[in-house]
Structure 1
Amino acid sequence: MAFRKRNVALARPPAESPASETPSSPASNPIATAPAPGTRPSPIDGRPTTSTGTPSLDSILAGHAGLSLGNSLLIGESGTTDYAGALLRFYAAEGVVQGHKVHVVGMGEVWGRELPGIAEEKDKRKEGKERAEKMKIAWRYEGLGAHGSSRERGSPFPSTGDAAADEAAVFCHTFDLARRLTLPVGSAIDYVPIPRTSSSPFTEILRTLQKHIARSPPDSIHRLVIPSLLSPALYPPTASHPAVILPFLHGLRALLRKYSTRLTAIMTLPLTLYPRSSGVVRWMEILSDGVFELSPFPYSHHESLATSAGTTKDEERPQGMFAVHKLPVFHERGGGGSTEGLGEELAFTLSRRKFVVAKFSLPPLEGDTEAQEAAVREASGNAMPRKEDLEF
């Protein structure tokens, strides 16, 4: 009996033709090119994606495990805090590390010198060792715990053993806000000033951005960073007029569609000055591909969570609510196989090294021992069932 390996497609022999006798040109034999540094295909539909620098934010972007190229994000924040600014710095730092061209609007070199640096490798190994010490259970539950923590590390692919190759293939790095990123010679950051003379400052911004992209190599990746859009401290008073800001977003959307494999953009908006109930902000959200909202907790609420009985020493306290109003590539041309974040209560936590978006739940009441033990197991990543559930 002949044995044949299953699930292997049989190659069809090429059809012979008179033209096959002549040497073929290089264009007739296309070669699959490797993705650009810092990009990888989406697990949903294969479109190229790049990391925002925040693994938990990548995981809720409609199941694409990253920000699809040719799309934009609008992040609104209420209050006087600047948590959204940390997301922008992670996004810009990831672009610099990956060799992308980063365009920052309205900020100077001081903003670029404050980008977070990459966390040390020894700190990563120490975290992994501490996580392994907490897993004092059977090997099958230990494997589940390691699988659950892979999202937090941000790289679902196994290591190849080659340190140089692994570093080059890292999709999302781990940054440390206490460290500073050393910018390479001939900095990859382009600072776009906001003109004050013209009636519409955004016209010159779009023209400058398009000029840089057109002059760059065809395989280069660009990231547009717009901090505090329409802030009176940066923009003239006429910038918030619908006849000024909406054509800019139309033009930016056209650039994103034109360079759908080379350009992404993230903007922040102060919702205290421009609430979501206003018509111009609603139109800005319509013209953006993804819309998120950060609502920091009041100081008294944050302290109450710190003293709650459900808070453990290993649990990081949430600092505000994270609302998902719109996901990129979720309504257009299908896609978006995951609805995580839509209709769920999410909270964000900004620590020294990372910005984490996770599901929000109130801590258990004092005296509820069973709920407190469950909270401790969930915080430590230990999914081991109780002893009573294992008894027959």
Structure 2
Amino acid sequence: MRSFRKFIDISTHINGTKVKNNLPYVSSGIPSLDHIVGGGIPAGSIFVVEEDVLGVYSKVLFKYFIAEGVACDHELFVTSLDEDPHKITSELPQPCALPPEDEKAPSTDAEKMKIAWRYEGLSQVESSFGSNTNLGHNFDLSRYIDADTIEKSKIQYGTTTWQDSTLSWQTTMRRGKLKSALFHKLLRNIYETVLRSSGTNMLRLAIHSLGSPIWMAMDSDDTEFQNYGRDLIMFMYYLRILIRDKNVAVFITIPSHLYEDPIIMKKVLYSAHNAVRIESFAGSEKETNPVYKDYHGLFHITKLTALYTLVPFVPPSLDLAFKLKRKKFVIEKLHIPPELEETSEREQDDITATPSTACGGFRKKDIDF
């Protein structure tokens, strides 16, 4: 009897996926994001985005993930309590054949290299990631997918108010560990969606701003927001078990900055497979700092999990920044520009600085002949 048998995976026939370590991967919709997390989002995993303070850039990533699912004809489940899910899907970026390029102003002689003339002939450092990827599509943020395509796509929406009269939630929600009726309803809704999925196609679960204050306001059982984190931890744990070994990719955005206790987010990310955090410059001192003038914020990799392999993926760089252009969202290596001009403070320091007398220094006017 032969010890090994060739394993044939049906996921190789799913559109919009690639197989890595015998595991199907899907694209997040952003080539640079796929590159820094190891080639995409693996099936049966949870991808968490810790939102920026205003939630602007995290919503852009959220729309990219849904738009990629529409372009690949994947099954989709979209839900949000902070915003109408139908409004989110009506503003999805449109796929394009080539990577969109923003118009750049022509460089002038004043913008050339000022450090040394020898540097002008050197090539620039490659900052962007994943420009030539074989997974996913390119999208144009300046254009939206038409309404007919959205209507024909396989999108299931979670209700805005979570008022479902077909199930007796009052008698069932107390049987488990979840005390919140909203988390219990969402988990049950996801469970039914996974059961109804074909299994031969990829199912994308997109949850926007999970555990935000709106969830507490609509749930009459809880009174303190920090105590609400317990149900968020349990929900993530149950969700991880529910999607394990299934053709399901989960994309969740969480307003982590609202939870003062850092232990809550550590336990939440324990159930996630991959996690990133967006630090926006809006409203901070870095917004006016000339060092970060070419970027809109920093991009932090919080967690990467090695699935079906003993060798974890190593990101090309941990010093990452992002910028939102008119047509695309780009993640690049953070390059701090050199100080090209001398400041007035530096000139003043050169004039007033005197050597220390302890080291035998002296001033010219103190010399007697």
Counterpart position of 2:158: 192
Tell me if 1:256 matches 2:271: no
Counterpart position of 1:267: 252
Counterpart position of 2:26: 50
Counterpart position of 1:167: none
Contact kept in structure 1, 2:36 and 2:129, CA below 8 Å = no
Tell me if 1:282 matches 2:266: yes
- Sort the Cα spacing of 1:190 and 1:301 in 2 relative to 1 into closer, same or farther, 3 A: same
- Sort the Cα spacing of 1:114 and 1:126 in 2 relative to 1 into closer, same or farther, 3 A: closer
Counterpart position of 1:212: 193
Question: Which residue type is aligned with residue 68 of structure 2?
Answer: E
TM-aligned CA deviation for residue 39 of structure 1: 0.2
Query: Separation in 2 of the partners of 1:31 and 1:326?
Result: 30
Q: How many pairs does the alignment contain?
A: 291
Identical residues among aligned pairs (%): 26
TM-aligned CA deviation for residue 105 of structure 1: 1.6
Matches within 5 A, 1:297-376: 297-299=281-283, 301-305=286-290, 317-329=294-306, 333-341=309-317, 344-367=318-341
Query: Separation in 2 of the partners of 1:126 and 1:319?
Result: 16
Q: CA RMSD in A?
A: 3.2
TM-score normalised per structure 2: 0.69
Contact kept in structure 2, 1:174 and 1:353, CA below 8 Å = no
Contact kept in structure 2, 1:112 and 1:189, CA below 8 Å = no
TM-score normalised per structure 1: 0.66
SS of residue in 1 equivalent to 2:258: coil
**Structure 1: gaps of 5 or more residues:** 1-27, 131-144, 157-170, 312-316, 369-392
Query: Separation in 2 of the partners of 1:281 and 1:95?
Result: 28
Q: Larger Cα Rg: Structure 1 or Structure 2? A: 2
Contact kept in structure 2, 1:200 and 1:244, CA below 8 Å = no
- Sort the Cα spacing of 1:154 and 1:222 in 2 relative to 1 into closer, same or farther, 3 A: farther
Higher deviation after alignment, 277-286 or 87-96: 277-286
SS of residue in 2 equivalent to 1:179: strand
**Structure 2: gaps of 5 or more residues:** 107-122, 164-168, 171-179, 343-369
Tell me if 1:178 matches 2:154: no
Counterpart position of 2:278: 294
TM-aligned CA deviation for residue 58 of structure 1: 0.3
Counterpart position of 1:118: 95
Question: Which residue type is aligned with residue 63 of structure 2?
Answer: R
SS of residue in 2 equivalent to 1:241: helix
Counterpart position of 2:357: none
TM-aligned CA deviation for residue 124 of structure 1: 5.3
